[in-house]
Structure 1
């Protein structure tokens, strides 16, 4: 109940003018009241917004009246409320003492009801006329057991009905955990590599670079490649990996290998993104695409000259040689093919796609693989037949030899639609043609270009020998490609039983270079 003093009269049914209830003369004679004329009012349960601007609060008293929910209160009502005073509730004390802080309330029968925390039922405590001896309702105990029985039955029913969804949920959980462990493995690898040059980008930055993955350059088993632009204006190719291995091995392979090297004939890794399952590799942009678009006959495409094809083959050889011998560790690519040779604006070749690559110590001549890797048509035979020799860097030499044959002849090394069965396996057919002195059929080729083609073919045939020990090393491949074709001799026929000593087939005038390779064939 609020008593107020106002400078001006207040006209509201919720304010009671006290001049009708008390003697104005006696009231104004009180020394604590200002001598200036003021108007006295009283209201019930007033809020701050109910106090008029010209009024101020003089006094407040407690009352059990429920509030001023109706207008036109009277002096007698105010008097009765003041005489009655206000009530104190003992319910909270009982709740704390007997209900342990649980929820409780008093109903119309003056009964306090406590609710158990476990929610299995309820116990009732009765208090009459201020006494507090508890009376336990045993019917509630029986009710508790009834609820418990229903819960058990409900559980058994749910177990039978929801068993299948629970199994599905468990499988989904394990699948999520597996990919979380994949993400952890990738993140642990990235944290352990402190000397990386590539930059780590967020997924939002990747989306911004590609303008929402607008310009798609290509697609493969690894995912898709999009054209993007860095803030500096540099164009990049962004490879989004979506079908990665369970442990993220393809991503780790590419970052671990190409992230630590830099060579003019190896594509440069500028950055990467590893945000949970979203992974991307950011490479320098190659405007002329991959080599396969230029060495195979396609209508409407301008073919490259023999000289340019030769320069590209020499650049690829330099790139592979660098991977094998130019680093502290030996990097075996295992997937050399035209699709993985990219060309920049000047048609400078770049070896790319290190998803199958493996790193080994340079001193290790033989490596251990649990399964064959690569692309059919370019895979070395020792990846399938262990009895012909161990797996080493000579597997990349074989793949390069098959690539070199395709570049020299501008056709695929396997032609299932060939007119003659001898042409189905192209290397055998090429070997027979060159051995008999026949030219590989090509139109408008000069004599100098024929020499270049023959040189590339002979080097390729040396690279694809069945036994790894009979193949060249990449530094010898480079040496033979830059040498004169007259210094080259035909090797043994590939994939036949003739495995004669390499030195017996060489021209004496050029034996120094070739025999050097022969003596080193068992060392590398």
Structure 2
């Protein structure tokens, strides 16, 4: 009954709106939208890509598509192919919009548009090209020390006025009628302030002056004035209220399924959050024909590349013989769901015939393995990190793994946590990489079944080899993380931990446990003040490598242990069941029994 009444009210409202608008003008005004309460109004020639009420072809103009990034209004232009520009204001009377960016490259990208290469496909131009504008020349200069730099000077000036320390300059490009504000930003540095862009076509200024709306004529590229925006907007608001009320009841009856589909469609089309797809020709250009190799392994080769002068990336070219593409599909499908400060970001990918590649953000400090491998195996040349830095790195890795286990729609099991797969940025912030072996499972189930073991020897949990230890689950990542922590403490690789010559056949983690139990742990620490950090990392690591998964803590508990100031309790000896029988080692505690894991079919 309520739904039928709303349908009648909806029909009446539509008739009223059509009557009011028809009395005012023969054309119908286009609807108006916003991104957020304080966002600029979006109407012709602009349109909001994901707004169903603005899909009328007569109510938008090619090249004027906007989208919402949260509550901010954004636009993609040829000068910023990867990062969107944010729109703070749209002045329809003067046909001008104010844009800004989080990138300090915006002035240079705008300047490059003056040679008609970057802005040729854009309807927008910089304002004030005549007034307060000059011709500028871009020079490539070499200093006395041999370093190169770029110099922008007025075309009618003398190079001697700007030649402080410059030995030789070569003219590159001359830009005509450059607004002074852009030139000023090149010298002072871009601070995120607004930059005005204007458009000349389509021209709706005569309609705006009359307080009218604007739209395309039917079957024409010319514009015409439509109904008063005030009348049309009031009618649109009334219509929207009635439609919203009707759909509200409909959604309640259908359990919001339609709304969920709309959100999913929005996320699928929201290209700003997706990695870009590249051709193999693009990959060759990005890597400068595979000039700079960063690393090599069984999976393929990693090259250094550039998407632009300021965006450096790492390009992983997968071997042609790498399975049937399962690892590639695995990594791409997993990475598009992840955004976390402690997980490496997938920038793009290539699937061009049999050629496959993955493009990641470039992290200049290489992998954690470089800093913690033993001085013996590295020839004593590897740099070392302070204990405080190692603690911060351990905490960052733990937060990244906890995000994979709990922060996504599905639980992501990495299955290859090791120092080689922990990359470090310029500030030594750790980022988990290489999701080729990852598996996804439902968050309300805790274990997975696998046909074969996966991972790297020395970091693989016991249950991955034998179900006698328990079910494979997210606790398998906890075990790998524990081995990584112990390696950080001892500064050596666990796969070489049973070296008879160096350790007399003692398993390396067991050796660490014996040192802690006998209060001899300080022999590993050079400085007295670092003993507490090293001891904390070692104890947490030993908790993580308990043989049975139910005896290992979750990543949330591990984070609390690493962040806490209290002295940690020593875990049960995980090695007693290896060389000798132990009743306590074989029998889980009552609390552990409550954490038994349910098997998930693969």
Instruction: Report if TM-score (shorter chain) is over 0.5.
Output: yes
Once the two structures are superposed, residues 226-280 of structure 1 have per-residue CA deviations (whole angstroms, 9 ceiling, x without a partner) of 0000036200000000145442001001101112110000000000000011111
Matches within 5 A, 1:306-317: 306-317=387-398
The alignment status of 1:266 with 2:343, answered yes or no, reads yes
Q: Check conservation: 2:275, 2:346, Cα contact below 8 A.
A: yes
Structure 1 residues 324 and 415: alpha-carbon distance in aligned structure 2, compared to 1, 3 A threshold = same
| Residue 522 of structure 1: aligned partner | 596
Instruction: Point out where structure 1 has 5 or more consecutive residues left out of the alignment.
Output: 1-191, 506-514
| Residue 374 of structure 1: aligned partner | 455
Which of 277, 286, 289 aligns to 1:200? It is: 277
Instruction: Specify the SS of the correspondent of 1:200.
Output: strand
Once the two structures are superposed, residues 170-210 of structure 1 have per-residue CA deviations (whole angstroms, 9 ceiling, x without a partner) of xxxxxxxxxxxxxxxxxxxxxx9767711101111111110
Which of 432, 436, 443 aligns to 2:514? It is: 432
The alignment status of 1:237 with 2:319, answered yes or no, reads no
| Residue 441 of structure 1: aligned partner | 523
Structure 1 residues 257 and 242: alpha-carbon distance in aligned structure 2, compared to 1, 3 A threshold = same
Q: Check conservation: 2:275, 2:347, Cα contact below 8 A.
A: yes
- In 1, Cα distance between the equivalents of 2:448 and 2:330? 16
- In 1, Cα distance between the equivalents of 2:586 and 2:570? 10
| Residue 471 of structure 1: aligned partner | 552
Once the two structures are superposed, residues 273-324 of structure 1 have per-residue CA deviations (whole angstroms, 9 ceiling, x without a partner) of 0001111100000100000000122323331001101110110000001000
- In 2, Cα distance between the equivalents of 1:374 and 1:495? 25
The alignment status of 1:384 with 2:465, answered yes or no, reads yes
- In 1, Cα distance between the equivalents of 2:278 and 2:550? 44
Please report the TM-score for the alignment, with normalisation by the length of structure 1: 0.58
Once the two structures are superposed, residues 417-448 of structure 1 have per-residue CA deviations (whole angstroms, 9 ceiling, x without a partner) of 3446655410111111111111153353223x
CA shift at 1:488, angstroms? 2.5
- In 2, Cα distance between the equivalents of 1:312 and 1:246? 33
Q: How many residues align?
A: 322
Q: Check conservation: 2:499, 2:505, Cα contact below 8 A.
A: no
The structure with more strand, counted as a fraction of residues: 2
Once the two structures are superposed, residues 213-237 of structure 1 have per-residue CA deviations (whole angstroms, 9 ceiling, x without a partner) of 0000000111000000003620000
Structure 1 residues 446 and 385: alpha-carbon distance in aligned structure 2, compared to 1, 3 A threshold = same
Instruction: Specify the SS of the correspondent of 1:228.
Output: strand
Instruction: Specify the SS of the correspondent of 1:217.
Output: strand
Q: Check conservation: 1:203, 1:275, Cα contact below 8 A.
A: yes
- In 2, Cα distance between the equivalents of 1:359 and 1:373? 14
Structure 1 residues 333 and 342: alpha-carbon distance in aligned structure 2, compared to 1, 3 A threshold = same
Pairwise CA RMSD: 2.6
Please report the TM-score for the alignment, with normalisation by the length of structure 2: 0.51
- In 1, Cα distance between the equivalents of 2:434 and 2:557? 24
Instruction: Specify the SS of the correspondent of 2:473.
Output: coil
Structure 1 residues 272 and 401: alpha-carbon distance in aligned structure 2, compared to 1, 3 A threshold = same
- In 2, Cα distance between the equivalents of 1:460 and 1:330? 22
| Residue 352 of structure 1: aligned partner | 433
Structure 1 residues 395 and 256: alpha-carbon distance in aligned structure 2, compared to 1, 3 A threshold = same
Greater RCO, 1 or 2 (C-alpha within 8 Å, sep 6+): 2
| Residue 500 of structure 1: aligned partner | 584
Instruction: Point out where structure 2 has 5 or more consecutive residues left out of the alignment.
Output: 1-266
